[in-house]
């Protein structure tokens, strides 16, 4: 798993957990993490590192409880968001939307109940439904290695991607 993927996952979880601390200083932080299921290597890395961050952060911060939910599709993720909000009673959320449009309203409903919302990678169609947005530069992730390959090969050879 790439260091970039790990950093994105850890940054998102930590950002949501700690951004909400000043407002919730007297309360326990109950952080929900909603991410797509590990159906391919990138999401497998996100799932793995989210669970590692949960262990590390809960060990370091006794007033922090993290609940991680994974979903196979957008409707399942929307249902899990409702459950995190009403049953688990989260006061902070990190969400990696399965689909931007389909998850905007469910995320907005969580925010309307007072949760601090951090959106990861796939932005929402209405940014007022989020407090923070964390994403990598996917274009640069492709361009920079390609430039390195071109320079290293000196304009000769074939590259198969």
Q: Given a cut of 70, is residue 1 above it in pLDDT?
A: no
Where exactly are the structural domains of the chain?
A: 3-153
pLDDT at 106: 98
- CATH superfamily for 3-153 is Response regulator (3.40.50.2300)
The string of pLDDT tens digits covering residues 111-150 is: 999 999 999 998 999 999 999 999 888 899 899 999 999 9
Across 69-91, average pLDDT: 97
**pTM assigned to the model:** 0.77
Backbone dihedral angles phi then psi of residue 58, each to the nearest 5 degrees: -65, -35
Q: Under a CB-based contact definition with an 8 Å cutoff, are residues 25 and 86 in contact?
A: no
Rounded distance between C-alpha atoms, residue 12 and residue 100, angstroms:
17
Which residues does residue 132 pair with via DSSP β-bridges, in sequence order?
Answer: 118
Q: Given a cut of 70, is residue 41 above it in pLDDT?
A: yes
Token pair 């990138």 is found at: 42
Across 24-29, average pLDDT: 70
Across 82-96, average pLDDT: 96
DSSP 7: H
Q: What share of the chain is helix, strand, coil (3-state, %, to 5)?
A: 50, 15, 30
39-45, long-range: CB < 8 A, 24+ apart = 39/72, 41/1, 42/5, 44/1, 45/1, 45/2, 45/5, 45/6, 45/9
Across 29-36, average pLDDT: 96
């Amino acid at each position: 798993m790439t260091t970039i993927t790990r950093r994105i996952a850890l940054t998102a979880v930590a950002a949501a957990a700690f951004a909400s601390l000043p407002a919730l200083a007297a309360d326990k932080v109950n952080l929900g993490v909603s991410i797509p299921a590990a159906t391919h290597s990138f999401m497998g890395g996100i799932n793995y590192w989210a669970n590692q961050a949960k262990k590390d952060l809960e060990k370091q911060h006794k007033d922090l409880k993290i609940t991680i939910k994974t979903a196979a599709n957008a409707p399942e993720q929307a249902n899990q968001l409702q459950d995190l909000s009403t049953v688990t009673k989260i006061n902070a959320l990190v969400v990696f939307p399965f689909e931007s449009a389909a998850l905007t309203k469910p995320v907005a409903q969580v925010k309307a109940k007072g949760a601090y919302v951090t959106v990861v990678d796939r932005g929402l169609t209405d940014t007022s439904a989020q407090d923070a947005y964390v994403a990598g530069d996917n274009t640069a992730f492709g361009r920079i290695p390609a430039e390195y390959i071109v320079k290293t090969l000196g304009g000769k050879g074939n590259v198969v991607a």
